[in-house]
């Protein structure tokens, strides 16, 4: 798979769509610094999946988008497309069937990044998978950018191992293993979650089982309560129905009584209705007579108002007649004034017409003269302009000649100055200092010998240091272990002491002891020691007496006014020992196992243990009990007491249990703590000695490191001095040769400049003569043009004046016509108004003459007489209506008395009806409660076992209390229990599947590790072999190899050990920059020998190399180009000659890169053809 084309658009400085064709195996990218060559390498790395902005020389990923320049605006997206020739089908995965593969990446300004393969949208992982294990990718070894050579060779061992894994193709195994580990981790997490769920589910099943039992009991009680409730509803329904029947009979009886009283009331109401009808008729007659009176009064008022209106109208008409006569007089005066103005403006119009005719004739005459004057002025101006152009052209040519002469003089001065500086520089060039160069080389050789001696000493100390550090570490571990053991002993001791101190935790007894000053009195158990194994026996015999207090005088107990608030035993500390009891033959006294630390306690111990014998076990005690004297006891190690006729089994029933064992353990722990403390002190001394030994070695290593670094710096300074002297000698020789060539070129340029100066002097003489002639002609043309302009200006002023007068005359004539038209209109309007006023005045005088009021006065007198008759009739009707009203009120009182008798009966009926409705509602409510219930079994139960509502209610209350006693009941517990059991079965199966999946994944990881280890070890050996072959080729000798830093190749790092010819350096960091570069190139090319990448990108890797090493590098690249395509960026001419195709990158427009392609073979053919033709 070979890279054939690169397409860029908007990527960094390549703002315009750029197409770079790469047909050859060796492609060189050249151009000046800063033109954007390295952006091509960044584009390739970016498309292959690079996601770090720092690796692309930016702060954010949006920095790869063109951000604008002085003449260009920023763009919104960047895209790069790589086209590969896959005719051999070497691409990985599903793309192997394509003869051409196009990989494209597009980034938007908003951060949206997309990948495409053959115009199909894919993931970034799909792109990286194509090149996985080929050495290509965002961080692979096939893309070597600026500074990466030094980073490769100086990389950490773990970072260098990545390149080896890429060459071996292990990176894909790494990805698979990482994915498998992630799946394994997810499986473990899932299994842990399933286990947690199962544990919780087990607890839940136990809880649900209990809840299910409660739910069953609840349902039984609920069923009984429901049956009892239904019986209670049925009994209540029967009682309510019986009560409803009784109340219905009472309602019927009371309704009959009410009907009788209502019949009497209806008779009274009938008589009342007749009287009310007669009253209504009389009232209507009264209202009719009253209406006649109101009508007559209205007619009287109307006639009076009509007479008053006629008087007001007569006065108003008289006033209108006076106003009309005054307006007619004013209109006549206005008409006379308008007729006078019309005669005046008619005369003015005639004069304006004559004036307009005169102005028109004058304007025509002036307009005819103007074109001739304008033509003459235009011709004079054109002649003047032509002469000026000729004069300006001659002047410009003269100025140009003077400028060229000045420029040539300046060039000659610069050439003279440059010549003087070159001569001075040649005289001042330093002579080669071979003596100093040889002396510096000798010093370097001496320093190398001294450095080797220091390295040997350093190696010895470094070998001793791990041993000393191991000893120090082991002593520290031992001391820490002793300290840990001491801490455990002290913690155990402190815990036992706290347990012993809790024996006196009775607050009341403690207060009583303080009150009697006995809080510090010694206890019996503090003075008694017993052989191991018999502690329980002594505790069983003495019991609370173990905690007895020692008193100086036992008689002091008689002085205590109050008894102790808890059990308390005391003994005399000064008591005399009693006579020893004779031991029974064949029996061992328990006192023989007891030892008193304080002899003051011995008497009481012997007394309390008198008659108590120790036996090995209960069987032996039972066998020997027959031989016991009276009052004696046998005790076993477990504390069981056996008497002649009884057995007392012991159990730890007091806080004194274990007090003797704890006391013995406390004493043992105190001794052990003392021993541990002494051992810890000794261990700390050993640690101090080991640390002092390490410090001594480190103190010797420090100066050696410092002197080694100082010696290395001095050696490096001398090497730099040798390099500077060598380069200074070479530069001096090269500069002498360059100065000679430049002096020859300066002489040739000075001769050429002198010849041009003489030609310019001759041309300036001719131009000055032409300049004088043009100046004279220009003065004459300028005078003629000025005269014609003056005549044109005067003629234009006369023409404009005539036009202005004509406009004024025409405006005045139009004003006269408008005035005459307005006056004609006003005169006609005034005549019309005058005629209208005269007609209106005549009409008003006629109406005033026709007005009369005699008829209205007669009508008014007749209406007044009719009103008096209507008033008398109204008074008679009012008297008759008053008598009818009295009779109606009497009947109304009788009706009200009858209604008052009905109200008590109605209330009684309503009350009984409400009771009947209440009984019906109660019966309906109970029936509604029993709706859907089969009443037959309930009725049968009541017939066989009659029950009262109170008894049923009591039973219902009892069942409710039973349900309440159950507390909160989970009625869904049975369903939840079944669902949980099913879920548990499912989770058990899932846990089994997860365990099997874990075993499968772990086996896959082990298989991947084995394959990776075998593949990586084979690659390591092959790369080592190729590195041993290529390193001498590039260096002309020497040796190099790879070294693992650990035993496990999958986890250990890789270091490069390189020794150029004649050098025995201990570290690769001691090599020069050029040697490091060659070593890194040898390593990269060794990886290529094992796993050739489709193409390799080299960005100025030859920068630190001299010509000899560059030629070696080029020869090696040329050999490897048979299998691998190389694209390299270089400023070195030797490297450029290697290229089969050169791609030039320029930046003619600031901030914008352009590509210029050069076909070297075509250029060579053109050169050969030109040579043959010559």
Sequence-distant (≥ 6) Cβ neighbours of residue 285 within 8 angstroms: 877
d(CA 43, CA 9): 10
> 3-state DSSP call for residue 512?
helix
**Closest C-alpha among 846, 1152, 1088, 903 to residue 73:** 1152
CB 105 within 8 A of CB 113: yes
Sequence-distant (≥ 6) Cβ neighbours of residue 134 within 8 angstroms: 92, 140, 142, 1091, 1093, 1094
CATH topology of domain 1003-1092: Rossmann fold (3.40.50)
> 3-state DSSP call for residue 83?
strand
Question: Which two structure tokens, joined as six digits, stand for 100?
Answer: 């051409």
Helices and strands (H, E) in the chain, number of each type: 19, 23
What's the pLDDT score for residue 104?
Answer: 94
d(CA 232, CA 954): 10
Indicate the DSSP class of residue 654.
S
Point out the residues of the chain with pLDDT beneath 50. Answer: 1174
- Report the alpha-carbon angle 480-483-485, nearest 5: 110
Relative orientation angle of helices 659-849 and 170-428, to the nearest 10 degrees = 80
d(CA 991, CA 1002): 16
What's the pLDDT score for residue 1174?
Answer: 47
DSSP secondary structure letters along 214-283? HHHHHHHHHHHHHHHHHHHHHHHHHHHHHHHHHHHHHHHHHHHHHHHHHHHHHHHHHHHHHHHHHHHHHH
Q: Phi then psi for 594, rounded to 5 degrees?
A: -100, 140
588-589 vs 612-614, strand pairing mode: antiparallel
Would you tell me which CATH number, out of the four given (3.30.450, 1.25.40, 3.30.70, 3.30.2000), belongs to the domain 527-545+572-654? 3.30.70
**Domain ranges (residues) in the chain:** 1-142+1097-1173, 527-545+572-654, 1003-1092
Which residue is associated with the tokens 């499968």? 1000
d(CA 161, CA 173): 14
641-642 vs 647-648, strand pairing mode: antiparallel
d(CA 1172, CA 1024): 52
What's the pLDDT score for residue 97?
Answer: 78
CB 537 within 8 A of CB 590: yes
d(CA 912, CA 244): 10
d(CA 1083, CA 164): 10
Each residue's pLDDT tens digit, 1051-1071 = 778 888 888 887 877 777 788
> How many other CB atoms are found less than 10 A from the CB of residue 94?
11
Question: Which two structure tokens, joined as six digits, stand for 843?
Answer: 């009409």
What's the pLDDT score for residue 8?
Answer: 92
d(CA 283, CA 295): 18
Question: Which two structure tokens, joined as six digits, stand for 175?
Answer: 């990805």
What's the pLDDT score for residue 1059?
Answer: 86
Each residue's pLDDT tens digit, 378-398 = 888 888 788 877 877 887 788
Is this prediction's pTM over 0.75?
A: no
CB 301 within 8 A of CB 913: no
d(CA 27, CA 1143): 7
Indicate the DSSP class of residue 580.
P
Indicate the DSSP class of residue 14.
B
d(CA 828, CA 79): 91
CB 485 within 8 A of CB 683: no
d(CA 486, CA 678): 10
What's the pLDDT score for residue 502?
Answer: 60
Same-fold call for 527-545+572-654 versus 1003-1092: no
Which residue is associated with the tokens 């406009």? 807
DSSP secondary structure letters along 1033-1071? HHHTS-EEEEEESSS-TTT--EEEEEE-TT---SSGGGS
Indicate the DSSP class of residue 548.
P
What's the pLDDT score for residue 739?
Answer: 82
Sequence-distant (≥ 6) Cβ neighbours of residue 299 within 8 angstroms: 863
Sequence-distant (≥ 6) Cβ neighbours of residue 867 within 8 angstroms: 293, 296, 297, 300
Span 1-142+1097-1173: which CATH code? 3.40.50.300
Instruction: Give the chain's length.
Output: 1174
């Amino acid at each position: 798979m070979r890279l054939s084309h690169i397409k860029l658009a908007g990527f960094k400085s390549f703002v315009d769509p750029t197409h770079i064709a790469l047909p050859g195996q060796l492609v060189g990218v050249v151009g000046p610094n800063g033109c954007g060559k390295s952006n091509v390498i960044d584009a390739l790395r970016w498309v292959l999946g690079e996601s770090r902005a720092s690796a692309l020389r930016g702060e954010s990923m949006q920095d790869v988008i063109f951000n604008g320049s002085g003449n260009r605006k920023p763009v919104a997206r960047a895209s790069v497309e790589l086209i590969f020739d896959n005719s051999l089908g070497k691409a990985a995965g599903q793309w192997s069937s394509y003869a051409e593969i196009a990989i494209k990446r597009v980034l938007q300004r908003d951060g949206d990044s997309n990948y495409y393969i053959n115009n199909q949208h894919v993931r970034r992982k799909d792109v990286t998978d194509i090149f996985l294990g080929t050495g290509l990718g965002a961080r692979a070894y096939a893309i070597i950018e600026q500074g990466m050579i030094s980073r490769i060779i100086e990389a950490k061992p773990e970072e260098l191992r990545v390149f080896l894994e890429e060459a071996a193709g292990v990176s894909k195994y790494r990805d698979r293993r990482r994915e498998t580990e992630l799946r394994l981790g997810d499986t473990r997490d899932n299994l842990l979650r399933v286990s947690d769920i199962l544990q919780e589910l087990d607890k839940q099943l136990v809880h649900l089982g209990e809840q299910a039992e409660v739910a069953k009991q609840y349902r039984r009680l609920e069923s009984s309560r429901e049956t009892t409730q239904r019986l209670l509803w049925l009994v209540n329904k029967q009682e309510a129905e019986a009560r409803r029947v009784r109340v219905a009979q009472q309602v019927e009886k009371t309704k009959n009584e009410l009907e009788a009283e209502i019949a009497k009331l209806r008779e009274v109401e009938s008589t009342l209705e007749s009287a009310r009808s007669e009253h209504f008729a009389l009232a209507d007659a009264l209202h009719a007579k009253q209406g006649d009176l109101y009508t007559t009064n209205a007619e009287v008022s109307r006639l009076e108002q009509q007479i008053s209106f006629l008087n007001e109208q007569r006065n108003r008409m008289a006033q209108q007649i006076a106003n009309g006569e005054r307006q007619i007089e004013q209109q006549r005066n206005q008409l006379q004034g308008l007729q006078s103005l019309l005669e005046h403006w008619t005369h003015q119009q005639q004069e304006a017409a004559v004036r307009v005719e005169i102005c028109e004739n004058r304007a025509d005459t002036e307009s005819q003269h103007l074109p001739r004057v304008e033509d003459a002025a235009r011709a004079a101006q054109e002649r003047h302009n032509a002469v000026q152009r000729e004069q300006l052209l001659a002047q410009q040519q003269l100025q140009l000649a003077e400028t060229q002469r000045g420029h040539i003089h300046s060039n000659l001065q610069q050439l003279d100055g440059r010549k003087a500086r070159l001569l001075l520089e040649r005289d001042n060039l330093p002579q080669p200092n071979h003596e100093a160069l040889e002396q510096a080389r000798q010093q370097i050789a001496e320093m190398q010998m001294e450095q080797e001696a220091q390295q040997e000493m350093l190696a010895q100390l470094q070998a001793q240091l791990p041993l000393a550090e191991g000893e120090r570490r082991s002593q520290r571990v031992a001391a820490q272990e002793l300290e840990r053991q001491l801490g455990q002993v002290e913690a155990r001791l402190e815990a036992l002491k706290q347990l012993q101190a809790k024996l006196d935790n009775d607050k009341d007894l403690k207060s009583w002891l303080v009150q009697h000053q006995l809080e510090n009195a010694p206890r019996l158990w503090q003075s008694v020691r017993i052989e191991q194994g018999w502690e329980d026996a002594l505790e069983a015999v003495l019991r609370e007496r173990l905690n007895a207090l020692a008193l100086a005088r036992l008689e002091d107990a008689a002085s205590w006014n109050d008894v102790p608030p808890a059990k308390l035993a005391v003994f005399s500390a000064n008591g005399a020992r009693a006579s020893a009891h004779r031991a029974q033959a064949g029996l061992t006294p328990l006192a023989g196992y007891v030892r008193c630390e304080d002899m003051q306690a011995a008497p009481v111990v012997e007394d309390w243990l008198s008659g108590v014998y120790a036996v090995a076990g209960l069987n032996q005690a039972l066998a020997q009990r027959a031989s016991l004297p009276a009052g004696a006891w046998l005790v076993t190690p477990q504390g069981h007491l056996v008497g002649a006729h009884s057995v007392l089994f012991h159990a730890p029933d007091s806080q004194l249990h274990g007090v003797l064992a704890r006391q013995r353990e406390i004493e043992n722990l105190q001794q052990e703590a003392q021993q541990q403390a002494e051992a810890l002190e000794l261990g700390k001394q050993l640690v101090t000695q080991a640390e002092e030994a390490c410090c001594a070695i480190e103190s010797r290593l420090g100066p050696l490191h410092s002197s080694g670094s100082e010696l290395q710096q001095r050696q490096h300074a001398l090497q730099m001095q040798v390099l500077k002297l060598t380069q200074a000698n070479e530069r001096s020789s090269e500069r002498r040769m360059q100065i000679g060539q430049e002096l020859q070129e300066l002489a040739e340029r000075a001769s050429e400049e002198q010849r041009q100066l003489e030609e310019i002097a001759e041309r300036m003489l001719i131009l000055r003569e032409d300049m004088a002639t043009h100046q004279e002609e220009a003065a004459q043309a300028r005078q003629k043009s000025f005269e014609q302009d003056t005549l044109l200006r005067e003629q234009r002023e006369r023409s404009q004046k005539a036009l202005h007068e004509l406009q004024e005359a025409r405006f005045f004539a139009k004003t006269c016509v408008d005035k005459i038209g307005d006056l004609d209109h006003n005169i006609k309007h005034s005549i019309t108004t005058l005629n209208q006023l005269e007609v209106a005045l005549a009409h008003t005088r006629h109406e005033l003459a026709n007005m009369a009021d005699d008829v209205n006065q007669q009508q008014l007198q007749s209406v007044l007489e009719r009103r008096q008759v209507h008033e008398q009739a109204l008074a008679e009707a009012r008297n008759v209506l008053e008598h009818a009203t009295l009779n109606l009120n009497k009947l109304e009182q009788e009706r009200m008395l009858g209604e008052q008798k009905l109200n008590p009966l109605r209330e009684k009926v309503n009350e009984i009806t409400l009771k009947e409705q209440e009984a019906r509602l109660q019966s309906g409510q109970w029936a509604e409660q029993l709706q859907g219930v089969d009443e037959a079994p309930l009725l049968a139960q009541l017939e066989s076992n009659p029950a009262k509502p109170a008894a049923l209610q009591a039973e219902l209350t009892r069942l409710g209390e039973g349900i309440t006693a159950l507390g909160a009941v989970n009625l869904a517990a049975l369903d939840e229990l079944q669902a949980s059991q099913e879920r548990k079965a499912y989770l058990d199966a899932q846990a089994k599947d997860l365990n099997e999946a874990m075993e499968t994944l772990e086996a896959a990881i082990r298989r991947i590790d084995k394959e990776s280890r075998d593949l990586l070890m084979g690659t390591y050996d092959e790369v080592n072999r190729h590195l041993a072959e290529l390193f001498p080729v590039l260096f002309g000798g020497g040796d190099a190899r790879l070294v693992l830093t650990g035993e496990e190749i999958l986890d250990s790092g890789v270091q490069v050990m390189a020794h150029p010819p004649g050098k025995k350096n201990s570290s690769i960091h001691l090599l020069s920059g050029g040697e490091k570069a060659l070593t890194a190139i040898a390593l990269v090319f060794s990886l290529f020998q094992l796993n050739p990448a489709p193409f390799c990108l080299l960005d100025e890797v030859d920068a630190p190399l001299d010509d000899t090493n560059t030629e070696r590098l080029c020869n090696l690249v040329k050999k490897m180009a048979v299998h691998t395509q190389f694209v390299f960026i270089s400023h070195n001419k030797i490297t450029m000659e290697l290229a089969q195709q050169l791609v030039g990158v320029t930046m003619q427009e600031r901030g914008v890169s352009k590509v210029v392609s050069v076909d070297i073979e075509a250029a060579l053919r053109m050169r050969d053809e030109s040579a043959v033709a010559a």
